[in-house]
């Protein structure tokens, strides 16, 4: 495995800090929304609002970076992203939460565009999967600790203190993000894509399915599913753990999987063949979700969720690398497709909760969607262009 480029280290570290506020909303809100005074459909709207905004701002971010290249775009995105967590903590009004989610959507469009292109342009094409794995891995690894500690702090210190403190901490990401872009100026131009451009449509469709099921449906309802399965708290070795702490722990392990697994999976896929890996991972996740919908035992439920997270982590790494190799506009199109899926996902999942339908329907529907994506992936990545190709 190659040495990690410094721009990737700096940017992914900064991103992990500033996204903690957004991550904790997924940990806390599903089990805390009644205390704030929200109803399930409002939670679904909030958890999808930032994704709807990004449908318009992803290409705006790509245009700004391409037409008016400046480090100020990165500074703007990191600074406004820090303000979002503070807004969450200082108000319990739905309109304030909604405005904060919209602002986060704008900020993240710029952060993701800069981050993916930083990983792609900081080395050779042959190791793009590995670099993308490091980019996602460092970000996820640091958030593993942050999300678990954030869930614990919420149970101990309360909602307001946790979110406001996190917003102040997030400001430290501004200088790190700026330094990462100063270094990237000395990096080579974006590499030319190895794979044919007609495969971009397939990548976009697969990105839509990836966003719809994982971040859109599964993660946004995880706290609610756990609360349904184990109640507001459970006993573990004589210690009472709140459901927010448990949700934070599980999502923290999800980011730990991203952190520890993404570089290894990216490294392996570069050598096995990224197309071959993509053809396997979509049906793997489809089967995992369908089986998951049939399980009732919490312990087995958690274990299979972890298996799903592993497959999702690899898919996001490889699809991001594929889009990045095709250029910045392909990154924006892929990101928009994934955001579209993530926008619809919470509304579907929380709509199921709103109408008191079985929670297993969320997983079963996700399995069917991944089944369709498996067919698309088989056609899109049916003919590898060579070792390590996308």
pLDDT per position as a tens digit, 32-87 = 788 888 888 888 788 878 878 988 899 899 889 888 877 889 999 999 988 888 88
Whether the CB-CB separation of 311 and 374 falls below 8 Å is answered with no
The pLDDT confidence band at residue 387, using thresholds 50, 70 and 90, is: very low
The residue with greater pLDDT, 59 or 250, is 59
| Angle formed at CA 74 by CA 70 and CA 80, multiple of 5 degrees | 135
Does residue 386 fall inside a structural domain?
no
Does residue 2 fall inside a structural domain?
no
In this predicted structure, what is the pLDDT of residue 253?
74
DSSP-assigned states of every residue in 54-65: HHHHHHHHHHHH
In this predicted structure, what is the pLDDT of residue 52?
84
Three-class DSSP category at 305: helix
First-to-final CA distance of the chain: 19
| Angle formed at CA 200 by CA 111 and CA 57, multiple of 5 degrees | 30
pLDDT of residue 176 exceeding 60: yes
Does residue 372 fall inside a structural domain?
yes
Whether the CB-CB separation of 110 and 328 falls below 8 Å is answered with no
pLDDT of residue 88 exceeding 50: yes
Three-class DSSP category at 246: helix
Burial of 383 (0-12, 13-18, 19+ CB in 10 A): exposed
Phi, psi of 178, deg, nearest 5:
-65, -45
In this predicted structure, what is the pLDDT of residue 191?
43
In this predicted structure, what is the pLDDT of residue 184?
60
Three-class DSSP category at 38: coil
- Sign of the alpha-carbon torsion through 152, 75, 94, 160: positive
Residue 191, C-beta contacts closer than 8 angstroms, at least 6 positions apart: 120, 121, 124, 125, 128, 325
Kindly report the CATH number assigned to the domain that includes residue 202. 1.20.1250.20
The residue with greater pLDDT, 134 or 143, is 134
pLDDT tens per residue across span 3-28 = 777 888 889 888 988 888 787 787 77
Does residue 1 fall inside a structural domain?
no
pLDDT of residue 385 exceeding 50: no
In this predicted structure, what is the pLDDT of residue 107?
93
Q: What is the DSSP letter of 216?
A: I
Q: How many domains does the chain have?
A: 1
pTM, full prediction: 0.69
Q: What is the DSSP letter of 185?
A: T
pLDDT of residue 383 exceeding 80: no
pLDDT tens per residue across span 283-293 = 999 999 999 88
Q: How far apart are the C-alpha atoms of 264 and 181, rounded to whole Å?
A: 25
In this predicted structure, what is the pLDDT of residue 237?
59
| Enclosing domain of residue 234 | 7-380
Residue 369, C-beta contacts closer than 8 angstroms, at least 6 positions apart: 209, 212, 213
Does residue 283 fall inside a structural domain?
yes
The residue with greater pLDDT, 242 or 338, is 338
Helix, strand, coil share (%) of the chain residues, nearest 5: 80, 0, 15
Q: What percent of the chain has pLDDT over 70?
A: 80
pLDDT tens per residue across span 292-333 = 888 766 667 778 888 898 888 888 888 887 787 777 788 888
Does residue 387 fall inside a structural domain?
no
Does residue 47 fall inside a structural domain?
yes
Does residue 385 fall inside a structural domain?
no
Chain-wide mean pLDDT for the chain?
A: 79
pLDDT of residue 220 exceeding 60: yes
């Amino acid at each position: 495995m190659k040495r990690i480029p410094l721009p990737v280290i700096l940017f992914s570290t900064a991103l992990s800090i500033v996204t903690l506020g957004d991550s904790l909303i997924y940990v806390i809100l599903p089990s805390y929304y009644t205390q704030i005074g929200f109803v399930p459909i409002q939670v679904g709207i909030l958890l999808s609002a930032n994704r709807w905004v990004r449908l318009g701002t992803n290409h705006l971010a790509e245009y700004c970076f391409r037409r008016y290249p400046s480090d100020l775009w990165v500074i703007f995105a990191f600074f406004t992203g820090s303000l979002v967590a503070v807004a969450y903590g200082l108000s319990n009004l739905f309109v304030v939460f909604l405005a904060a989610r919209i602002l986060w959507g704008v900020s993240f469009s710029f952060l993701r565009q800069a981050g993916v292109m930083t990983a792609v342009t900081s080395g050779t094409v042959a190791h793009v999967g590995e670099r993308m794995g490091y980019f996602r891995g460092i970000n996820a690894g640091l958030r593993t600790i942050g999300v678990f500690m954030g869930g614990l702090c919420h149970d101990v210190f309360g909602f307001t203190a946790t979110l406001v403190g996190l917003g102040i901490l997030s400001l430290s990401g501004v200088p790190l993000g700026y330094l990462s872009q100063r270094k990237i100026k000395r990096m080579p131009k974006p590499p030319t894509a190895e794979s044919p451009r007609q495969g971009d449509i397939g990548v976009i469709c697969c990105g839509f399915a990836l966003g719809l099921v994982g971040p859109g449906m599964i993660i946004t309802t995880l706290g609610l599913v756990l609360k349904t399965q184990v109640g507001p708290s459970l006993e573990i070795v004589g210690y009472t753990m709140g459901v927010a702490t448990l949700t934070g722990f599980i999502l923290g392990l999800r980011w730990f999987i991203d952190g520890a697994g993404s570089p290894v999976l990216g490294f392996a896929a570069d050598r096995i063949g990224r197309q071959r890996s993509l053809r396997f991972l979509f049906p793997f996740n489809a089967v995992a979700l369908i089986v998951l919908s049939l399980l009732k035992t919490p312990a087995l439920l958690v274990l299979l969720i972890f298996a799903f997270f592993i497959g999702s982590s690899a898919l996001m790494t490889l699809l991001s690398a594929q889009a990045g190799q095709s250029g910045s506009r392909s990154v924006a199109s892929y990101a928009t497709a994934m955001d579209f899926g993530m926008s619809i996902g919470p509304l579907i999942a929380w709509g199921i909760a709103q109408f008191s339908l079985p929670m297993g329907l969320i997983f079963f529907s996700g399995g069917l969607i991944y089944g369709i994506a498996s067919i698309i992936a088989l056609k899109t990545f049916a003919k590898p262009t060579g070792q390590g190709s996308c």
